[in-house]
Amino acid sequence: MSKTENFVHKKFDGEHTGHDWWHMYRVWQLAKHIAREERGANLLIVELAALLHDIADFKFHNGDIEAGPKEARKWLMSIKADQKVIDHVEDIIRNISFKGSEVSNNLKTLEGKIVHDADKLDAIGAIGIARVFAYSGAHERPIYTPGEKVASHKTVEEFLTSKPSAVTHFHEKLLLLKSRMCTKTGREMAIRRHEYMEKFLEEFHSEWEGGS
């Protein structure tokens, strides 16, 4: 674990799209908390998958869904992890990313569901708000475009080619995540973060139109 923590920390230190080391760290901590609450999960799998879940995010690798699993496998093999551990972590990384509002993932295990929920919790609430604007700024997308249509992506390709404003991205992804939590703990934790985003958007639109 310490080798993987150091590896991920070094690789993502200084990243500026909201997918930095501290995102990995928070997902790691959230995953451990959810695992303790849910019970029965293999904590080694949970922790390794949480730390490595964005090791090669498909969004930054031309939509290659296998980029992350391949990089995770390469690292875990280098530290001589057990083959069953490698296979399990690889499968989790392949299946936890949001790939469009109408695209489903194939999460087979409790460990995968835990890491999924930890990752999605870090995409909503106050942290999620900060991250969406960091990501949008890094990719030269506007804060808000009045009248912009909210898309419903049926394929990964549609999701990847869509370049909405930061506020529209709330409606295309972030506000959908509460209902997609896989664990009881994740669902409970998502409620307050979701409500915080709703209040933020209400205030945002009020100020946009000149409200006090």
Pick the CATH number of 2-208 from 3.30.565.10, 3.90.550.10, 3.40.50.10810, 1.10.3210.50: 1.10.3210.50
What pLDDT, on the 0 to 100 scale, is given for residue 51?
Answer: 98
- Both tokens of 147, joined, read 């009248």
Helices (H) and strands (E) in the chain, counts: 10, 0
- Whether the CB-CB separation of 88 and 45 falls below 8 Å is answered with yes
CA distance 75 to 131: 27
pLDDT classification of 195: cutoffs 50, 70, 90: very high
pLDDT of 63 higher than 80: no
Question: Cα 149 to the chain's mean position, in Å?
Answer: 23
Tens digits of residue pLDDT in 122-160:
999 999 999 999 999 998 999 999 999 998 888 878 888
Q: Calculate the CA 21 to chain-centre distance.
A: 13
* CA gap 69, 151 in Å, rounded: 28
Tell me the domain boundaries of the chain. Answer: 2-208
Query: Could you read off the pLDDT of 153-190 as tens digits, one per residue?
Result: 888 788 888 899 999 999 999 999 999 999 999 999 99
Q: What local confidence, expressed as pLDDT, does residue 15 receive? A: 82
Tell me how many degrees the CA angle 102-15-44 measures, rounded to the nearest 5: 70
And the tokens for 60? Answer: 């930054």
Tokens of 120: 């999605």
Q: Using one digit for the tens of pLDDT, what is the confidence trace for 3-47?
A: 999 999 999 988 888 889 999 999 999 999 999 999 999 999 999
**168 neighbors 202 (Cβ within 8 angstroms):** no
Relative orientation angle of helices 83-95 and 110-121, to the nearest 10 degrees: 50
Q: How far apart are CA 134 and CA 129, in angstroms?
A: 9
Give which of 41, 202, 31 is closest to 121, Cα–Cα.
31
